[in-house]
Amino acid sequence: EIENKLVINKPNSSMMKIFSFKNSNEVIRKFILFIIRIFIAAVFIFSGVAKLLEIQGFIQIVHKFQIVPELVLPYFAAVLPAIELFLGLCLIFNLFTRLAIMSLSILLTIFIIAITITMVRGISVNCGCFGGFFKNVVGLHALAKDFFLLGFLIFFIRFHKKYFVTP
């Protein structure tokens, strides 16, 4: 007697993971984090390059903030854009990502403090965010931009499991 057995090929469990709802959320999360990483990288690469291309103008902008001592002003004005460029490139190439994200978060916090101090003191100066390429006067617009970028970095820190521990 021949038994008729209906054989159903069960899909491979790894194939099921590709199409699972949980995995699709993971793909979306990784895509969003990738876009944030590239966006932040592009902003800081552009900012660093813009400042380095017009270093004398950037030195004058930093001087007008009246925060950095004149003795270290030229060094500060050269090192800051180099750091921005380096950290942006780290993000583009996904190297030292945790260090880059944390460093940029600290840098943006310092920028927010400097802008706030300058606003409170009533000093009208180009924010220098992108060297001389954009003439943005220090104010709520520059402050909002930095908070916006910091928000993206905090989002990245909160939701990127590879580099940061999440609750």
Please give the pLDDT value at position 4: 53
Please give the pLDDT value at position 162: 65
- For residue 22, the one-letter residue type is K
Q: Which residues of the chain have pLDDT under 50?
A: 6-8, 14-21, 165-167
Please give the pLDDT value at position 167: 44
Please give the pLDDT value at position 28: 85
Please give the pLDDT value at position 11: 52
Cα–Cα distance between 87 and 82 in angstroms, integer?
9
Please give the pLDDT value at position 2: 53
Please give the pLDDT value at position 161: 67
Q: Show Cβ contacts of residue 167 under 8 Å, excluding neighbours closer than 6 positions.
A: none
Q: Show Cβ contacts of residue 61 under 8 Å, excluding neighbours closer than 6 positions.
A: 125, 126, 127, 128, 131, 132
Please give the pLDDT value at position 129: 83
| CB-facing half-sphere around the CA of 56: CA atoms within 13 A | 0
- Which residue, among 71, 83, 74, has the nearest Cα to 111 in the 3D structure? 83
Please give the pLDDT value at position 34: 92
Q: Show Cβ contacts of residue 70 under 8 Å, excluding neighbours closer than 6 positions.
A: 63
Quick one: tokens of 5?
Answer: 């057995």
